Amino acid sequence: MGRASVSHGRPALRVRGHGVPHGNGAAGLPRGLIVLLGLAGAVVAVAGLRIFAEVLAPVFLALMLTVTASPLGAWLIRRGAPAWLAATALVAVVYAVLIALGAALAVSVARLVALMPQYQDRLADLRASASGALTGLGLDAGRAGDLTASITPGAVADAVQSLLGGLLATASNAVFLLAVLLFLCLDAVSFPARLHSAAVERPEVVGALRSFAGGTRRYLLVSTIFGLIVAVMDTLALWALDIPLPVLWGLLSFITNYIPNIGFVVGLVPPALLGLLEGGVPLMTMVIVLYSVVNFVIQSVIQPKIVGDAVGLSATASFLSLVFWTWVLGPLGALLAIPLSLLTKGLLVDADPRTRWIDSLISSGPPRSRRRAAGLPAPGQR
């Protein structure tokens, strides 16, 4: 009887010590195969994101705006306001900001398009000079004329509008965006209570979502402050140089400040081009120098360090996220690069204790302080 008990007990010991844990069917697969399957799944997911980019980009923008403004609804609830009033106030604030920004861009771009015909003679001179320079370099005169034929007021206006392509595309889909915003804002009022209930069963996932929300708000706060500083300085500099529409280019600097690392380059092109049309190469050079001194130092040197410390992403991770999300979602993906990277990091890294080691590789700042700020347990804790 004793032997039978021992013999029957051995398989159970082997199962506990060397068997496949319950619910983890992939434990017996080779690590290389698991990596390949993961990469294949990532490729399929990215392909799906690209296919539905026109729908997903406004949804992600609405999510970012709702996450940013949601503390207003929570504050009103704590003050005793009814849920419907908090939801109404949240929707009104988000709508007002979005509509004001869209109206300012629409009016400014319309003024720019109306301004372009005034530069027809100047553009003709530039086209002739460029054609002559190409001919002097040994290019055939006909070929040089073809290359410079696109230097027209309409082409310049189209080039400027293409810089605002993501925002203009979002404006064209404004009804869908406003509808998504409405439903997200209505749900945002009760979402903290639902998160609190879900934290009992899934504390890791809830902690990751809170980390994403907090990181997004910190990123937008830092970027907004720096964007206002840069916009004011750029507007004053362009006004002093007598560049047309300085307020528009200041607004563009403010918006492109949300694009990591290279946002100032996008905002530099239109005023530099107008500087060329207004005063030739010397004025264009002055615009470029002023933008480089102000914007490069603030947006590409100081701001990335502060943003990285605030959201827990290294400068390299921020730049690669810009490239990736722009490629996936188009121009609007550049504006949403950091929030979307924080969301991806929260769901794939912070939500699973087994993958939190990746956080040390892609983040900046001390890991322990980041975990405490995000409400996540330290490694080894549950």
- Residue 378 backbone class (left: φ over 0; alpha: ψ -120 to 50; beta: rest): beta
The whole-chain average pLDDT of the chain stands at: 75
Is this model's pTM higher than 0.85 or not?
Answer: no
pLDDT per residue as tens digits for the range 65-76: 888 888 888 888
Query: Residue 364: what pLDDT?
Result: 66
Percentage of residues in the chain with pLDDT exceeding 70? 73
Question: Model confidence at 296, in pLDDT bands (50, 70, 90)?
Answer: confident
Q: Give the angle 134-136-138 at the CA atoms, nearest 5°.
A: 80
Lowest mean pLDDT among 231-240, 265-274, 339-348: 265-274
Question: Model confidence at 164, in pLDDT bands (50, 70, 90)?
Answer: low
- As a whole number of angstroms, the distance between CA 174 and CA 171 comes to 5
All residues at 6 or more sequence positions from 86 whose CB lies less than 8 Å from its CB, including other chains: 72, 73, 74, 76, 77, 189
Query: Residue 98: what pLDDT?
Result: 81
CA-based nearest residue to 300, from 259, 354, 241? 259
pLDDT per residue as tens digits for the range 354-365: 777 777 777 765
Is the pLDDT at 60 greater than 80? The verdict is: yes
Question: Model confidence at 19, in pLDDT bands (50, 70, 90)?
Answer: very low
Query: Residue 112: what pLDDT?
Result: 72
Query: Residue 143: what pLDDT?
Result: 58
Question: Model confidence at 171, in pLDDT bands (50, 70, 90)?
Answer: low
Question: Model confidence at 79, in pLDDT bands (50, 70, 90)?
Answer: confident
More confident residue, 23 or 84: 84
Question: Model confidence at 153, in pLDDT bands (50, 70, 90)?
Answer: low
pLDDT per residue as tens digits for the range 216-249: 888 888 888 888 988 898 899 889 888 888 888 8
